[in-house]
Amino acid sequence: MDHQKILAQLMLAVLATHELDAVSQSEWRLLYVLRGLSDEQGRWWFVLLHIPLFWGLIAATQNGNSLIRRISGICLAAFCVVHAGLHARLAGHPLATFDSPLSLGLIWGAAAIGVVFLANAARVAMFKPDANH
């Protein structure tokens, strides 16, 4: 059983679900690139830009090449941890409305899965047999 693959899939599912919640929270108002747009335009671009974003994440984390899968999983996990930190930093901002148990559970859930993924990746790297011996 490939635990890292399962963790990457679960982390991606939780992150994608957070993004569904982010639409209802008008998260584009917090993003430098989109916050100057009207709500209609901001929502449109926010949703549309998630198509190539999630296509790329799915393609990379499920790639047939194990190195690409491993690196993209590590990058996704690190992003989820940093993403939670950004949400924590914005917690007092008047436009940041991610304070429900659902919103917080999704944000911190993705980060927790990311931490487990990174810890497992480090463990595997540390105890991987050296091919030269």
Q: Which of 74, 68, 72, 83 is nearest to 16 (CA)?
A: 83
Report CA Rg, the chain: 17
Could you state, in chain order, the average pLDDT of each consecutive group of 10 residues for the chain (133 residues)?
Answer: 92 97 95 94 97 97 94 97 96 92 98 97 80 49
For the record, the structure tokens of 27 come out as 């998260």
Gap between the Cα atoms of 111 and 130, Å rounded: 31
For the chain, what are the domain ranges?
Answer: 3-126
pTM: 0.90
